[in-house]
Structure 1
């Protein structure tokens, strides 16, 4: 059937189509369309109605939810967000991911690790995905400010949500969804105890934001500052791999 891609051997037929719209965003798109039609048809204010109708299309586009081809390799950590690699630095993991939370499951170990920050503009896909397969151990929401998500201090001052995933072999990956200047709502799709696959949808942040990923000790980034990455597809790191990477400007 046209539109179906059957396998990776070239069999099947595929054509471009606009990605599906996540249910979380459909109501916002419909509200924007209704308001724009009210100005166009009800009040005959075209100078307002037409721009609002275009904005409605932008709202639907913001909540687009494309399919992704997830690498099937237990050694890799996958990007949880689309966007630009804005910071790569060594830091201590957030205290909320390290302290004993009383559940009997250990958090991240103290000590500096590599943190990769991914900045999402309003033009990026905002569905976030699990960087590894495992069990959700913590989902911690922390209220805060709405500073520019590109600033380093946004990791500690902005509204944010920490998520900790543990694999069957005990490896843990923590990452943080951070609200920005425009983002006003972090929406989780998972809760502690849920089992997720690598690349599975785990939440979204509305209207511009950032995601920080804390790599395990002894693991370096395989992406570079300024690189654009794709959630569920780009490999951020290979567990236990440390090497210096240099980009080539062209």
Structure 2
């Protein structure tokens, strides 16, 4: 199963590689060069296809839990000052995604979307300390009666050139449902109240919609 954001890119890639290989077989005499181009094309297409995979995830709905919004590795658990929405200190959990990870973003909690905003910006590497404030990003806040408002921020990385965000203010969303997509390497930060019990540790690998990262 593939994410809808990938269909156009996969189709364009397939057609382009087909044209390149037809051209190589028509214009190049050396067999090994033709084979190398074909092999490189197959590998490249497989990488593109796997990037847009969208595995089915069955989230165990629980308002006491905050689940990982994306697949990846936990790279930060720290207190920071969140100045865009809360304007106070929050506990930040950051998950880094490599190009090999599933890049679907899922709602970490269910509830009402209170805030959703896109910010254009730079494309610093996703682990750069300033990427959370300077890179292309979207900020979404979902609130329910148990967790209160939970903010998560999609952050583009050095390879990401487009963030897709489906969250719209006022909509009710289901925990673990599709919230967006980040194309080609990135990070998602989750901001929780100070003192929230964290259930993951640094460098732990998590699965979006499955792994519980905090419990309120």
Within 2, Cα distance between the matches of 1:79 and 1:224? 12
1:170 positional shift? 7.5
The structure with the largest strand share of the pair is 2
Instruction: Tell me what 2:45 maps to.
Output: 56
Within 2, Cα distance between the matches of 1:169 and 1:228? 26
1:169 positional shift? 5.5
1:24 aligns with 2:5: yes
Aligned with 2:85 (options 79, 97, 101): 97
1:228 positional shift? 0.2
Within 2, Cα distance between the matches of 1:72 and 1:35? 42
Contact 2:5 2:181 in 1 (8 A): no
1:236 aligns with 2:208: no
Instruction: Tell me what 1:33 maps to.
Output: 14
- Report the more deviating stretch, 178-187 or 137-146: 137-146
Return closer, same or farther for 1:232/1:214 CA change in 2, 3 Å cut-off: same
Residue deviations 1:105-129 (CA, integer Å, cap 9, x gap): xxxxx43221000000000000000
Where in structure 2 are there 5+ consecutive unaligned residues?
29-33
Aligned with 1:216 (options 193, 196, 206): 193
Within 2, Cα distance between the matches of 1:75 and 1:190? 21
Contact 1:29 1:57 in 2 (8 A): no
1:75 aligns with 2:27: no
* TM-score, normalised relative to structure 2: 0.91
Instruction: Tell me what 2:104 maps to.
Output: 127
Contact 1:127 1:205 in 2 (8 A): yes
Contact 1:222 1:238 in 2 (8 A): yes
The structure with the largest helix share of the pair is 2
Contact 1:85 1:224 in 2 (8 A): yes
Within 2, Cα distance between the matches of 1:191 and 1:75? 23
1:29 positional shift? 1.0
* Higher relative contact order (CA closer than 8 Å, sequence separation 6+): 2
Question: Between Structure 1 and Structure 2, how many residues are aligned?
Answer: 208
* TM-score, normalised relative to structure 1: 0.79
Instruction: Tell me what 2:31 maps to.
Output: none
Within 1, Cα distance between the matches of 2:10 and 2:17? 11
RMSD value, Cα: 1.5
Runs of 4+ residues over 4 Å off in structure 1: none
Instruction: Tell me what 2:94 maps to.
Output: 117
